């Protein structure tokens, strides 16, 4: 984020992936037969280690990713909490007995799927590692993780700590390297039983295709263009603070960011005046100096974000604030982007339809609940939605009508590890977090005895 090299990592190749998968097969043989209570104890120990060493990991993550130290601390807290939460699930993966009559006994067992591959993005390198790895380990699976090329540090550190906590050698493996190289070798490998992928739609489609010949199971989390819907009767100050948080946290590099403000015409002027004022006051800077917004993750990503905004400018769209790359005020360097608000966008505008993945808010003006629902649903995505209104009936109608994996009323994000998370449509499929998060890593076997 600062524009300076921070560390160097090996670019893993197909043979490194093969070695990691061989190790994982050996690790799996031990781990799947480790008593669930023991897996539970080990994962709790991992959660404790991460908690004790949280500040070290947070500083490392802030430096590696460009995010602010506070954001990195939040990421590390979720990471520890994910291990704690799934530790508690490890010894509760129970089957059921199925009555078939006097001569038969039938029950189900929930066995680990095998070796799972985790393709991890750069926006939440630490918690996204844990979001997949913790439930995989709870279920008795072994793991090969491929962190993003720009942020591999914490995955390597965490793999070491998991070993210290008692996870046997070979159970958790990390291969650093480029997506099209190490990542592609991993997802097409026939030894992989399940793939957890978080990233862009186009790469996700490629991963699905690569997985098809081996008929490998998948969980895909592909981002979105999530709406924060504000009806005419909503509390204007809550909308302003919610919108600010929903789009400018982590410099907008969040799959579930509230990147569209779907706002009723009656409160549009008041909300936008306050929102623009607060957006202009946000301070950009190096993550360790406690700014409001840190850097974007890479120069390539900065260019991608800016290209979206430049295209909107060429289309004559109304950019109320921001719209330019920026630098760290202390050093005059780095990959920052001004908090940006584009107003009055029509439904088919590319700034409404494509994930920009930066601090860029697309505003869509609507009249009434019905139009709000139609506009909220007017993209190919369906990940998250926030609904602001004081009318409980409208809130509940909208919550049901909006196509999303999770909806929050009078806030944007609420809840943590306990709440299942995932998308519909081009946002992907499968649910992570919550008890649902473990489903991807277990398969049901039915056993029947005739007697
Ligand atoms: P990407 O989807 O290409 O990369 C995500 C992960 O996939 C990285 O670990 C990468 O190394 C890996 N990868 C890339 N190509 C692969 C392949 N052929 N096989 C297996 N793994 C592969 O995303 P990228 O290029 O970093 O960012 C592009 C856009 O993707 C962003 O602007 C944003 O819109 C979206 N994105 C969404 C994320 C989310 O949380 N849903 C996270 C990161 C990016
Ligand atoms: Mg890519």
Candidate from 148, 199, 381 with most ligand 1 atoms within 8 A of CB, to mutate:
199
Q: What is the C-alpha to C-alpha distance for residues 205 and 428, in angstroms, rounded to an integer?
A: 10
Catalytic residue at 45? no
Contact indicator for 183, 17 with CB cutoff of 8 Å: no
Predicted pLDDT at 312: 98
Nearest protein Cα to ligand 1, atom 19: 184
Q: Name all contacts of 323-331 with Cβ < 8 Å and 24+ positions apart.
A: 326/284, 328/2, 328/284, 328/285, 328/286, 328/295, 329/283, 329/284, 329/285, 330/285, 330/286, 330/289, 331/2, 331/286
Q: What is the mean pLDDT of residues 20-30?
A: 98
- Is any atom of ligand 1 closer than 6 Å to the C-beta of 149? yes
Predicted pLDDT at 5: 83
Kindly give the pairing relationship between strand 325-326 and strand 336-337.
Answer: antiparallel
* Beta pairing partners, 119: 146, 197
Query: What mean pLDDT is reported for the chain?
Result: 97
Q: Cα–Cα distances in Å, from 302 out to 79, 100, 248, 336?
A: 27, 61, 15, 7
pLDDT reading at 94 higher than 90: yes
Q: Does domain 14-222+427-450 have CATH number 3.40.605.10?
A: yes
Residues 273, 274, 279: CA angle, nearest 5 degrees = 100
Give the rounded percent of residues in the chain with a pLDDT score beyond 70.
100
pLDDT reading at 2 higher than 90: no
Q: What pLDDT, in 10s, does the model give residues 41-81? A: 999 999 999 999 999 999 999 999 999 999 999 999 999 99
Residues 377, 381, 386: CA angle, nearest 5 degrees = 60
What residue segments make up the domains of the chain, in order of their start? 14-222+427-450, 227-417
Catalytic residue at 380? no
Predicted pLDDT at 4: 79
Q: What is the mean pLDDT of residues 203-211?
A: 98
Range from 7-11, 119-123, 381-385 carrying the lowest mean pLDDT: 7-11
Q: How far apart are the first and last CA of the chain?
A: 67
Q: Quote the CATH superfamily of domain 227-417.
A: Aldehyde Dehydrogenase; Chain A, domain 2 (3.40.309.10)
Q: Name all contacts of 180-184 with Cβ < 8 Å and 24+ positions apart.
A: 181/11, 181/12, 181/13, 181/14, 182/11, 182/12, 182/13, 182/14, 182/16, 182/17, 182/146, 183/119, 183/146, 184/210
- Is any atom of ligand 1 closer than 6 Å to the C-beta of 421? no
User: In the block, which residue shows the tokens 């609940």?
Assistant: 369
Question: pLDDT band for position 3 (50/70/90)?
Answer: confident
**Burial of 438 from C-beta contacts in 10 A (0-12 / 13-18 / 19+):** buried
SS3 301: helix
Predicted pLDDT at 71: 97
pLDDT reading at 15 higher than 80: yes
Residues 83, 85, 91: CA angle, nearest 5 degrees = 95
* Beta pairing partners, 146: 119
Question: pLDDT band for position 28 (50/70/90)?
Answer: very high
Selection from 74, 38, 78, 73 nearest residue 59 by Cα: 73
Q: What is the C-alpha to C-alpha distance for residues 126 and 198, in angstroms, rounded to an integer?
A: 13
Nearest protein Cα to ligand 1, atom 8: 148
- The counts of H helices and E strands in the chain are 14, 20
Predicted pLDDT at 101: 97
Which atom of ligand 1 approaches the CA of 124 most closely?
40
Residues 152, 163, 118: CA angle, nearest 5 degrees = 40
Predicted pLDDT at 200: 97
Q: What pLDDT, in 10s, does the model give residues 422-450? A: 999 999 999 999 999 999 999 999 999 99
User: In the block, which residue shows the tokens 């590890």?
Assistant: 417
Predicted pLDDT at 6: 81
DSSP 86-152: HHTTTT-----EE---TTEEEEEEEEE--EEEEE--SSSHHHHHHHHHHHHHHHT-EEEEE--TT--
pLDDT reading at 157 higher than 80: yes
Give the rounded percent of residues in the chain with a pLDDT score beyond 90.
98
Q: Which residues contact 162 (CB under 8 A, 6 or more apart)?
A: 46, 133, 137, 171, 172
Kindly give the pairing relationship between strand 217-221 and strand 115-119.
Answer: unpaired
Tokens of 271: 């909300």
Q: What pLDDT, in 10s, does the model give residues 96-144? A: 999 999 999 999 999 999 999 999 999 999 999 999 999 999 999 999 9
Q: What is the C-alpha to C-alpha distance for residues 241 and 170, in angstroms, rounded to an integer?
A: 46
Which atom of ligand 1 approaches the CA of 298 most closely?
26
C-alpha 12 – ligand 2 centre gap (Å):
17
Options 255, 338, 369, 439, the catalytic residue: 255
23: how many CB neighbours lie within 10 A of its CB?
18
Q: What is the C-alpha to C-alpha distance for residues 407 and 227, in angstroms, rounded to an integer?
A: 10
Handedness of CA 363, 368, 372, 375 (dihedral sign): negative
Predicted pLDDT at 401: 98
Q: Which residue has the higher pLDDT, 415 or 322?
A: 322
Options 71, 221, 355, 369, the catalytic residue: 221
Q: Cα–Cα distances in Å, from 113 out to 174, 188, 194?
A: 19, 17, 7
Q: What is the mean pLDDT of residues 192-213?
A: 98
């Amino acid at each position: 984020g600062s524009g300076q090299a921070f560390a160097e990592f090996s670019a893993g190749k197909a043979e490194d992936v093969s070695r990691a998968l061989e190790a994982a097969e050996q690790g799996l043989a031990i781990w799947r037969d480790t008593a669930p209570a023991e897996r539970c104890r080990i994962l709790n120990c991992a959660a404790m280690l991460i908690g004790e060493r949280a500040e070290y990991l947070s500083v490392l993550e802030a430096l590696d990713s460009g995010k602010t130290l506070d954001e990195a601390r939040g990421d590390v807290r979720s990471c520890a909490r994910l291990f704690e939460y799934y530790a508690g699930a490890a010894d509760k993966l129970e089957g059921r007995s199925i009555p078939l009559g006097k001569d038969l006994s039938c029950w189900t067992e929930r066995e680990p799927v095998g070796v799972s591959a985790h393709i991890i993005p750069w926006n939440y390198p630490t918690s996204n590692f844990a979001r997949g790895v913790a439930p995989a380990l709870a279920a008795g699976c072994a793991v090969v993780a491929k962190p993003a090329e720009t942020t591999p540090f914490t995955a390597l550190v965490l793999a070491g700590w998991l070993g210290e906590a008692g996870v046997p050698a070979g159970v958790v493996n990390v291969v650093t390297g480029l997506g099209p190289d190490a990542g592609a070798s991993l997802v097409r490998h026939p030894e992989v039983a399940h793939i957890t992928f978080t990233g862009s739609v186009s790469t996700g489609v490629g991963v699905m295709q690569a997985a098809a010949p081996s008929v490998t199971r998948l969980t895909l989390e592909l981002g979105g263009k999530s709406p924060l819907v504000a009806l005419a009767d909503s509390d204007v100050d809550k909308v302003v603070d919610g919108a600010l948080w929903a789009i400018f946290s982590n410099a907008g590099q969040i799959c579930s960011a509230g990147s569209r403000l779907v706002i009723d015409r009656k409160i549009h002027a008041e909300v936008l005046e306050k929102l623009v004022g607060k957006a202009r006051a946000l301070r950009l800077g190096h993550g360790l100096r406690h700014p409001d917004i840190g850097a974007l993750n890479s120069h390539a990503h900065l260019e991608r974000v800016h290209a979206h905004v430049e295209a909107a400018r060429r289309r004559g769209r109304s950019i109320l604030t921001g719209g330019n790359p920026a630098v760290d005020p202390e050093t005059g360097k780095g990959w920052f982007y001004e908090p940006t608000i584009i107003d009055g966008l029509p439904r088919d505008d590319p700034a409404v339809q494509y994930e920009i993945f930066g601090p860029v808010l697309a505003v869509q003006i609507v009249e009434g609940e019905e139009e709000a629902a139609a506009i909220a649903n007017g993209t190919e995505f369906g990940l998250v939605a926030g609904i602001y209104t004081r009318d409980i009936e409208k809130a509940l109608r909208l919550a049901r009508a909006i196509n999303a994996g999770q909806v929050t009323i009078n806030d944007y994000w609420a809840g943590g590890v306990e709440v299942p998370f995932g998308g519909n449509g081009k946002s992907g499929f499968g649910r992570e977090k919550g008890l649902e998060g473990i489903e991807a890593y277990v398969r049901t076997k039915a056993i029947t005895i005739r007697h």
